[in-house]
């Protein structure tokens, strides 16, 4: 016997437990990430065949489109227009700069921060936990992530890293 569909659109998902955190920089296990993927979007994503696709970025950076410098050290992401947070506040390129620098912060101790160690100054900042606040602030300023314009994020690497994207 079939029942009538619910009178409202409803999706129920069995998580198998409660996530430990919804902080993207502190997430460390599959449940955390599965929930975060449903709540947020990145600059890039991937299709079923793992081909990179633009999400919040206009396009996937390549050498051909000028998004990756010829030496492989500079990545340029242009953000789509009209991006907003869930509360309606505009999402800015400075939000992305903050996020990258936060994940590398020695005070956050993000479990996967080493993934971004190729970013210029990132490893030095990440490993500066024992330094003074002034030294850490100085190291944070030189991390190679910057808001170049109101919609362009530039990431500069210390060494080429084909896994960055």
- Long-range contact list for 109-117, CB < 8 A, 24+ apart? 110/25, 110/26, 111/26, 111/27, 111/28, 112/28, 113/25
pLDDT of residue 4: 65
d(CA 137, CA 140): 5
pLDDT of residue 20: 85
pLDDT of residue 140: 94
Residue 65: Cβ within 10 Å count: 12
User: What CATH class has 58-156?
Assistant: alpha beta
pLDDT of residue 145: 98
pLDDT by position in tens, the chain (length 165): 566 666 677 777 777 788 888 888 888 777 777 777 777 889 999 988 899 999 999 999 999 999 999 999 999 999 999 999 989 999 999 999 999 999 999 999 898 899 999 999 999 999 999 999 999 999 999 999 999 999 999 999 999 998 999
pLDDT of residue 5: 66
pLDDT of residue 88: 92
pLDDT of residue 36: 77
Q: CA–CA distance from 107 to each of 5, 12, 31, 126, 142 (Å)?
A: 49, 36, 24, 8, 17
pLDDT of residue 30: 75
């Amino acid at each position: 016997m079939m029942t009538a569909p619910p009178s409202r659109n409803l999706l129920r998902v069995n998580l198998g437990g409660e996530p430990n955190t919804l902080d993207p920089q502190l997430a460390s296990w599959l449940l955390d990430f599965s929930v975060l993927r449903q709540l947020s979007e990145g600059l890039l994503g991937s299709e079923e065949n793992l081909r990179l696709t633009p999400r919040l970025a206009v396009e996937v950076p390549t050498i051909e489109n000028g998004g990756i410098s010829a030496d492989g050290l500079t990545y340029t992401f242009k953000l789509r227009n009209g991006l907003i947070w869930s509360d309606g506040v505009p999402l800015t390129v400075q939000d992305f700069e903050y996020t990258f620098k936060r994940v590398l912060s020695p005070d956050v101790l993000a479990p996967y921060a080493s993934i971004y160690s190729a970013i210029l100054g990132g490893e030095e900042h990440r490993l500066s936990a024992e330094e003074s606040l002034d030294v850490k602030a100085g190291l944070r300023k030189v991390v190679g992530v910057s808001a170049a314009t109101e919609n362009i994020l530039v990431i500069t690497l210390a060494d080429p890293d084909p896994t960055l994207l």
